[in-house]
Amino acid sequence: MFKCKKCHSSDKFELMFNPEYQGSCTFEYQYTLNNDIKITVDGYTFIPDLSFMNRHAVCKYCGSINSWDYE
């Protein structure tokens, strides 16, 4: 799980996209056996890490961009 460095909310991955993201934002997720979240965006499946979050995810609580840490 990830935590916003600005408002300290944890996001269980109701990820919002960086406004510059150009894809269609078709988004779904599921959990792996290890309880990691696995995301599929526009047909591309991956397990997000901190660098992904800090490149693409916007905090839905405070709107901060690229301000994540591991919880």
| 7 contributes a contact to Zn ion by CB under 5 A | yes
The CA distance from 27 to 56, in Å, is 13
Among 1, 62, 66, 69, binds Zn ion (CB under 5 A): 62
Instruction: Find the part of the chain contacting Zn ion (CB under 5 A) among 6-14, 18-26, 29-37, 38-46.
Output: 6-14
Instruction: Compute the radius of gyration of the chain from its Cα atoms.
Output: 12
In the complex, minimum distance from the CB of residue 63 to Zn ion, in angstroms, rounded to a whole number:
7
The reply on whether position 59 binds Zn ion by CB under 5 A is yes
